[in-house]
Amino acid sequence: LSLRCVATSPRTEEAARRLGLAVEPFGTFERLDLAIDGADQITPDGWLVKGGGAAHTREKLVAISAERFVVIADSRKPVPRLHGPIPLELLEFGLGSTLRRLGTVHLRDVPRSPDGGVIADFTGHVGDPAVLAEVLSGHPEVWSSMASSRP
């Protein structure tokens, strides 16, 4: 079995290398067979909040590039409905304007993402996940950790 890996964060890359896995830059692949990631919340109707590990943009790019995307979570992760905080990655350019338009967002006191994104949490009412996902995706400078397993 030949296994070549892409890591979405420096921390994941370091862990993979310690395990003896061959980690290569994402740009060397035209496609990925499989992407595996974790989640912090999973609802019965297929919505999930991915982890707050501050690599949202990279995780989304890897997930959409893979033929199959598998989410692994332990028994503490199923929830009846999504709740805050919802991790976000924000573009620094125009950050004040973004924060004003989003409203209830709290900036985290953590290092930037590997690509320089500002890490924050949406702390407002989640309500209908599809509506919130649409609102957040309407801001090109915002990358949300929300996803749906439904097409």
Please state, in angstroms and rounded to a whole number, the distance separating the CA atoms of residues 140 and 34. 27
Q: Kindly tell me the burial class for residue 141, based on how many C-beta atoms sit within 10 Å of its own C-beta (0-12, 13-18, 19 or more).
A: middle
Each residue's pLDDT tens digit, 23-54: 999 999 999 999 998 899 999 999 999 866 67
Q: What is the CATH number of the domain that holds 23?
A: 3.40.50
What total of structural domains would you count in the chain? 1
Inter-residue contact 86 to 145 (CB < 8 Å): yes
Each residue's pLDDT tens digit, 81-100: 999 999 999 999 999 999 99
Both ends of the chain: CA-CA distance in Å?
31
Each residue's pLDDT tens digit, 108-147: 999 898 888 999 999 999 999 999 999 998 999 998 888 8
Domain that holds residue 62: 4-148
The model's pTM is 0.84
Give the DSSP letter of residue 134: H
Inter-residue contact 40 to 75 (CB < 8 Å): no
**Peptide bond preceding 111: is omega within 30 degrees of 0, i.e. cis?**
no
Please give the positions annotated as active site. 59
Please state, in angstroms and rounded to a whole number, the distance separating the CA atoms of residues 41 and 149. 12
